[in-house]
Structure 1
Amino acid sequence: MTLGKPRRTGPLRGRPLTLGSLFAAFWPRILGTWAMTLMEIALFALIPLLIGRAIDGLTGGDTAAFVQLAVALAVLILLGTLRRVFDTRAYGVMRVELGKDLARRSSDLPVSRLSARLGMGRELVDFLETELPEAMTALFRTFAAVVILFGFHPALAGTAAAAALVTLTIYGLAHGRFYRLNRALNEEAERQVQVLEGRSIPRLGAHLLALRRCEIRVSDTEGLVYGLIFTALLGSVLFNLWFATREIEITAGRVFSIVTYSWDFVEGALILPATLQSLSRLSEVTARINTPGNIR
């Protein structure tokens, strides 16, 4: 198969195919999407506050806060629509340029491996388009929750911070295993077209069983890691509930707020290991697509 020799043309210009290189080549588009994402996050954070003010205003016969809420919701709808329209076009360009550059660099590979690597390369752009904005939202939620909990009592924020540290430690210990399992899974994925070309049912069956074994190992590791992480995060919620009711002179409504923000912290913090796992997979993908031959 010949796709032509690699040429130093296009936005990537011979850079290694990594998240950093994509950002360097397409930073105006990426920063544009991130700016709109951050504005959406800020508006979402204000909505509960605006709803509360609207309720208070309407019960007192004042509609000003209600109008502010309606305007904020309209802006949120418009901003969300524009961001999605812009995202599709901006990240679509990245996928095209990444695919073209990867095809030129891997022109000596069999079609089966090139096809698999094109799919893997798209995962880099998918991460920038979908998972990274979700991680930004989660980080904002966890930070806001910790700040608000600190306003109630420093111990509540300290418990949340400790749970986050445990989460990072658990995932750090599992990172190497995730990398090795994803490497094995990607090896099987690269072989799939070649196996299909052989039109051998026994060989195809062996390939599918190998894929299944790899997927089970990844899933089992995910289950164990998430179980340990979830235990640490839920422990922080239970401690905050106990501490708020036993150690602080506080009303029932404030206890409810503490538990609500503690749970909001849990929901945001759970996105973190998912993002780290994606980075583990992408680190293996990045090494693979930047290596001309086979990785063993």
Structure 2
Amino acid sequence: MVRLLSRIFNTNYPSLLVTYGLTLLENILELLYPLLIGRAIDDLLQEKYMGIISLASLWLLHTGIEVARNIFDTITFTRIYNNLVVSVVLDQHRKGVASSQIAARSALSREFVDFFEQDVPNLVTSIFGLIGSLVMLLLFDLRIVGYCLLIIILITLMQKFFIKKYLGFNYS
């Protein structure tokens, strides 16, 4: 499975790097919203409009990048899926595998593409959200960051305990 994921990435890495780069840029822009909202409010209270113009500009840029990423993602991941399915079908047909098994394996190919299309960007977004939140809290109050890190450690420890229980129930 890891070999197939590596092959998919190595074959398509230029397109994947562009789509992941756009995802990173989108996440960075998203982290700027609280800052620019605060500045917009401060400027409006002083009857200035530069803050709201900056916020609107960020929103337009973020929306444009999001639209471009969605278009590029659709093209990239459709092409990856089509290439993968064609290679699976041809390989399985050449080996004399039954049609029903070929159909099932073709459908399973979608799961591999979904990993790159959904799971990797979701992981990046979650990491950016966590780190961005901690940095913003750090700028606000150092004690809150300490409490958050303590909570993360406790949740991680609890998760290890519950994963062992889960695996014991489901795989025994």
- Fold-level similarity (TM above 0.5): yes
Partner of 1:58: 44
Shift of the 75–149 alpha-carbon distance from structure 1 to 2, 3 Å rule, reads closer
| Aligned sequence identity (%) | 26
The alignment status of 1:152 with 2:142, answered yes or no, reads yes
Structure 2 SS opposite 1:109: coil
Who is 1:88 aligned against? 74
* 1:25 aligns to 2:43 (yes or no): no
Cα contact 2:31–2:132 (8 A) shared by 1:
no
Indicate how the Cα distance of structure 1 residues 48 and 148 shifts in structure 2: closer, same or farther if over 3 A, else same.
closer
Aligned to 2:119: 131
Q: Greater share of helix residues, 1 or 2?
A: 2
Q: Distance in 2 between matches of 1:71 and 1:17?
A: 43
Q: CA 1:177 to 1:87, structure 2 compared with 1: closer, same or farther past 3 Å?
A: farther
CA-to-aligned-CA distance 1:178-218 (integer Å, 9 cap, x gap): 7x6xxxxxxxxxxxxxxxxxxxxxxxxxxxxxxxxxxxxxx
2:59 alignment partner AA: L
Confirm or deny: 8 A CA contact 1:37 1:83 kept in the other structure.
Answer: yes
CA distance in structure 1 between the partners assigned to 2:47 and 2:92 by the alignment: 69
Q: Which moved more, 1:107-116 or 1:79-88?
A: 107-116
Unaligned runs of 5+ in 1: 1-15, 181-296
1:218-241, Cα deviation, whole Å (9 max, x unpaired): xxxxxxxxxxxxxxxxxxxxxxxx
Aligned length: 165
Q: Which residue of 1 aligns with 2:102?
A: 114
What's the offset of the Cα at 1:109?
1.5
TM-score, length-scaled by structure 2: 0.84
Tell me if the contact between 1:149 and 1:156 (Cα under 8 Å) persists in the aligned partners: no
RCO comparison, higher one (Cα < 8 Å, 6+): 1
Which structure's CA Rg is the greater one?
Answer: 1
How well do the aligned residues superpose, as a CA RMSD in angstroms? 2.4
How far off is 1:102 after superposition?
Answer: 1.1
Residue 171 (structure 1) shift? 6.6
Q: Is the 8 A contact 2:26 2:66 kept in 1?
A: yes
Q: Does 1:77 align with 2:56?
A: no
Q: Distance in 1 between matches of 2:160 and 2:44?
A: 48
The Cα shift of 1:103 comes to: 1.3
Report the alpha carbon displacement of residue 40 of structure 1 after superposing the two structures with TM.
Answer: 0.8
Q: Return the offset for 1:69.
A: 0.7
Residues 1:44 and 1:119: Cα distance change in structure 2 (over 3 Å):
same
Q: Deviations over 1:145-181 (max 9, x none)?
A: 3344454315313323313423652575346877x6x
SS at match of 1:127: helix
Mapped contact 1:146–1:161 kept (Cα < 8 A): no
Matched position secondary structure for 1:94: helix
